[in-house]
Structure 1
Amino acid sequence: MVQTSATPSAFERKARLEVLTLSTLGFTLMFAVWLMFGVLGIPIRKEFGLTDVQLSWLSAVAILNGSLWRLLAGILADRYGGRGVFTVMLLFTAIPAYLVSQATSYPALLLYAFLVGFAGNAFSVGIAWNAAWFPREQQGFALGVFGAGNVGASVTKFIGPALIASVPAAGYLGGLMPGGWRFVPFLYAVLLVLMALAMWLFTPRADRKPGQGRPFLEMLRPLRNIRVWRFSLYYVVVFGAYVALSAWLPKYYVDVFGLPLYQAALLTALFIFPASLLRPVGGYFSDRYGARRVMYWTFGLMLLASGVLMMPEGHIVLELASGNREVLPWHMSLWLFTALVFLIGTGMGVGKAAVYKHIPEYFPKDVGAVGGLVGMLGALGGFFLPPLFAYAQSWTGLPQTTFLVLFLLTLVAAIWMHLTVLSLLNRAAPHLEHSFEHSPEGGR
């Protein structure tokens, strides 16, 4: 009897659970490693006497290298199987993580930060791996659960300060185990090796390889489809901006609201948590209602919240019908700001899953290549947006322009999506108005 996706065998269910669980844990760890300099930067700056610009490059080069190889990593996962590729990535990343703990100069630290940033490419592997194991009607939820590993961005924020304070600077075992801030990358190196062993031993040996035997150039052919680039823009909005704001918000809280750094980090976590942990919810909604409808909700919520956040403080003048004027003072309170940022995080968390629900729908045999390109461009958005935030603030003198940039980026993506839907409906028939989710787009 042939097993269908609706009636999987006990072995199939067990295999899917193993792949989803181990890939999610591995991705969470890799994401924590990828963004660890956001917390380690303060003691590193003190020890090496770095300027703010020098310090910013540590995070920037890590984010850059965590973006560049996503396309290739996704293709390799489709071709050779996610199990082997993910295991190799974990082991490789452990090497520069250990070297970070041993760095004695800024140039060496910058090099090791770039190499350890390779961890960010694990996302493409996990997406392709899970898509190969789960049926279409469950892929949105499965990819959402896996993508919730983004919460790794907050792991170092919570455990880093405590570990730095609790482990003496001299370390243990005669310095073999370094102390202070160096203990964190050392610990991550050990955990990466252990995670690689667990992934190799406890996931199905007979892996699924949808791209096995296919020519490399054939696997790249879907990238000529404009739809892929549209999905990439969506992902810049919901993921690239997420990475950028995760790094930018602590500074914003400190500069605009005068908070101490530890409070700024905790309030930033209120943005990170929904933007990460709501991915499974976004996947479930995408499975149930369709990914494009979820993207409408996402863009609408983000436009509303960022539209308020981008307003400069001052006065709102109302022209009344009686001819009188009402002048209302406008001031953004800390709690209103935090609530609106939380809403943006909610939209991003749901939207990230919806973007990746699109990919196996339209490119079931090319999830690795398409998902890799979408992930690569989205992550590159996280590299380019912080400087854009800084330039916009420098040009205007208004910190609120951070959210003007986000508003305009979201608006462009929403308009492109809506024009595509209208074009589809105009070329089809009125009865497709409520069923466009799975209709062909004619290459759009």
Structure 2
Amino acid sequence: MTTTDPSPARSSSWLPAWQPNDPAFWEAEGKTRAWRTLWVTTFGLTLAFAVWFMVSAIVVRLNDIGFALSKDQLFWLTAMPGLAAGLTRLRHMFLVPTYGSRLTLTVSTLGLLIPAVGWGLAVQNPQTPYWVLLALAFLAGMGGGNFSSFMPSTSLFFPKKMQGTALGIQAGIGNFGVSLVQFLTPWVVGVNLFWFLGSKSENWVFAGKTQQIWLQNASWVYIPWLIAAAALSWWLIRSVPIKANVKEQLAIFGDKHTWIMTSIYMMTFGAFSGLAAAFPLLIKTLYGGFENAPLPLKFAFLGPLIGSTVRVLFGLIADKTGGAVLTTVSAIGMAVCAVLVTFYVTPTGLEQFPMFVATMLGIFFFSGIGNASTFRQMPIIFNPPQSAGVIGWTAAIAAFGPFIVSMLISFTLTAAGNVKPFFFGLAVFCLFNLALNWWFYNRPGAEKPS
């Protein structure tokens, strides 16, 4: 990978040169452009995450407005965006070096208009075939796929010493899209925002009461913002002049540390994204049968909100402390909280609900620490040509989190009648990654201290 102009014909979109690790270049030109690019792409990434997770906020109300879907079908709908995110992230790994940041980020943002429009149309008709809902859920997952273009792109704009901060800010604020969609949905569906399109309301039946809602707003509200983000990407972003052939990009798979960091990031972001997608439906499944049951989205948004905030803060901290020690803290904290959750997943009354939420929020808190620390570790463990590829690859695999978590929860509910085995399994997985991180990166004399 080089930072010289690969083709004069592309000069309108590609910068002629880019040397962020040169202090003189950084102060004279690099800093302003890098930070401007970061804020534009962070705005787009936040919307991408919102589209990715909007299905988790929609499915909890489908049966209440006239759909007749089983628990398995609902969990499949929450899982499909994760499947799509993982698959499309694998494709996104190779887009920025080939087409550049400007074109890749603009087109990928415009593509999210398809599920945003589609879900708004589908929810207005309870007779919408299930396969259509599955297809739309899959398409929503393209928002998660965008991550593997946005993050490697950002890593190219900043010097190595600032990548923990830059990536922590972008990923952390981008993760707010998860919390945003779960917090915003209950508000926007209560107002006829799109009356000028002839938008019709649905009858929402909850706790024996009926009220009018406009569930289509849960996806349509993002349409104007997606258009704005795509326009900003095209007008304000230019591409770093890199040249990376496929052989260079595939070389990462011959390095054992690629696979170790993939497992560790699956523990942190895989759990974060998976539980964020499943949390609303999990609340409804476990506590929805009690009188005066809690509204899932009233509490579910707190998990990704906490995890996202922590990711931003600890991105700054990781640049000072190093990432490995914080990953150790993350693994221990997640394992402990996962075990504690098991005491509250077979409730006998609503008095157990506060502790269920608190222990779940503990998992989100410690996963946020790990999400920040791992993105500090990767640019240190790998050289610049490899680090962007590793970030893209690990992000792609971890994006399967919503699919894996939703499927495992559905399976354990069917097989065991409760979700205790899932959370015990999560604790074991965290301890496994704790050992990997300590041995290779955190112990005295570690192979790759980071």
Structure 1 and Structure 2 fold alike (TM over 0.5): yes
Matched, 1:335 2:354: yes
Comparing 120-129 with 67-76, greater Cα deviation is found at 67-76
Matched, 1:84 2:108: no
Query: Helix, strand or coil: the match of 1:69?
Result: helix
Q: Which residue of 2 aligns with 1:22?
A: 40
Counterpart residue identity of residue 449, structure 2: E
Q: 1:296 to 1:217 in 2, by over 3 A?
A: same
The CA distance in 2 between the partners of 1:174 and 1:199, in whole Å, is 31
Q: Which residue of 2 aligns with 1:309?
A: 341
Aligned counterparts, 1:356-435, within 5 A = 356-361=375-380, 362-421=382-441, 432=445
Counterpart residue identity of residue 50, structure 2: A
Matched, 1:186 2:205: no
Matched, 1:272 2:290: no
Counterpart residue identity of residue 114, structure 2: I
2:324·2:441 contact (CA, 8 Å) conserved in 1?
A: no
Q: Which residue of 1 aligns with 2:161?
A: 137
Q: Which residue of 2 aligns with 1:12?
A: 30
The structure with the largest alpha-carbon Rg is 1
Q: Which residue of 2 aligns with 1:346?
A: 365
Aligned with 2:185 (options 138, 160, 163): 160
The CA distance in 2 between the partners of 1:200 and 1:176, in whole Å, is 35
The CA distance in 2 between the partners of 1:259 and 1:346, in whole Å, is 30
Comparing 21-30 with 337-346, greater Cα deviation is found at 337-346
Aligned with 1:219 (options 244, 249, 252): 249
Residue by residue, what CA displacement relative to the aligned partner does 1:355-392 show, whole Å, maximum 9, x if unpaired? 12222221411334222220111111321122223333
The CA distance in 1 between the partners of 2:438 and 2:77, in whole Å, is 39
Matched, 1:119 2:174: no
Where do 5+ consecutive residues of structure 2 fail to align?
A: 1-18, 203-212
Counterpart residue identity of residue 377, structure 1: I
The CA distance in 2 between the partners of 1:332 and 1:400, in whole Å, is 19
Deviation of the 1:259 alpha carbon:
7.7
Deviation of the 1:194 alpha carbon:
1.6
1:389·1:405 contact (CA, 8 Å) conserved in 2?
A: no
TM-score normalised to the size of structure 2? 0.82
The CA distance in 2 between the partners of 1:90 and 1:275, in whole Å, is 24
Aligned with 2:53 (options 35, 51, 61): 35
Counterpart residue identity of residue 152, structure 1: G
Query: Helix, strand or coil: the match of 1:85?
Result: helix
The CA distance in 2 between the partners of 1:387 and 1:162, in whole Å, is 29
The CA distance in 2 between the partners of 1:342 and 1:412, in whole Å, is 22
1:31·1:152 contact (CA, 8 Å) conserved in 2?
A: yes
2:249·2:386 contact (CA, 8 Å) conserved in 1?
A: yes
Q: How many residues align?
A: 408
Residue by residue, what CA displacement relative to the aligned partner does 1:73-115 show, whole Å, maximum 9, x if unpaired? 1221133322221111011221332233233522333323322
Deviation of the 1:312 alpha carbon:
7.6
Residue by residue, what CA displacement relative to the aligned partner does 1:325-372 show, whole Å, maximum 9, x if unpaired? xxxxxx994433333322221111111121122222214113342222
The CA distance in 1 between the partners of 2:97 and 2:320, in whole Å, is 27
The CA distance in 2 between the partners of 1:62 and 1:241, in whole Å, is 15
Where do 5+ consecutive residues of structure 1 fail to align?
A: 315-330, 426-431, 439-444
Counterpart residue identity of residue 318, structure 2: S
Counterpart residue identity of residue 320, structure 2: R
RMSD, aligned CA: 3.0
Deviation of the 1:30 alpha carbon:
0.7
The CA distance in 2 between the partners of 1:279 and 1:145, in whole Å, is 8
Q: 1:217 to 1:262 in 2, by over 3 A?
A: farther
Deviation of the 1:400 alpha carbon:
3.1
The CA distance in 2 between the partners of 1:134 and 1:286, in whole Å, is 16
Aligned with 2:83 (options 41, 64, 67): 64
Q: Which residue of 2 aligns with 1:428?
A: none
The CA distance in 1 between the partners of 2:418 and 2:27, in whole Å, is 59
Deviation of the 1:43 alpha carbon:
4.2
Matched, 1:239 2:269: yes
Deviation of the 1:22 alpha carbon:
1.0
Q: 1:200 to 1:298 in 2, by over 3 A?
A: same
Q: Which residue of 2 aligns with 1:328?
A: none
Q: Which residue of 1 aligns with 2:8?
A: none
1:34·1:116 contact (CA, 8 Å) conserved in 2?
A: yes
The CA distance in 2 between the partners of 1:181 and 1:119, in whole Å, is 20
Q: Which residue of 1 aligns with 2:12?
A: none
The CA distance in 2 between the partners of 1:228 and 1:397, in whole Å, is 37
1:73·1:124 contact (CA, 8 Å) conserved in 2?
A: yes
2:78·2:406 contact (CA, 8 Å) conserved in 1?
A: no
1:393·1:402 contact (CA, 8 Å) conserved in 2?
A: no
Deviation of the 1:404 alpha carbon:
0.8
Q: Which residue of 2 aligns with 1:196?
A: 230
The CA distance in 1 between the partners of 2:324 and 2:165, in whole Å, is 15
Q: 1:419 to 1:395 in 2, by over 3 A?
A: farther
Q: 1:260 to 1:223 in 2, by over 3 A?
A: farther
Q: 1:372 to 1:332 in 2, by over 3 A?
A: farther
The CA distance in 1 between the partners of 2:378 and 2:369, in whole Å, is 16
Counterpart residue identity of residue 151, structure 1: F
Query: Helix, strand or coil: the match of 2:195?
Result: coil
Counterpart residue identity of residue 249, structure 1: F
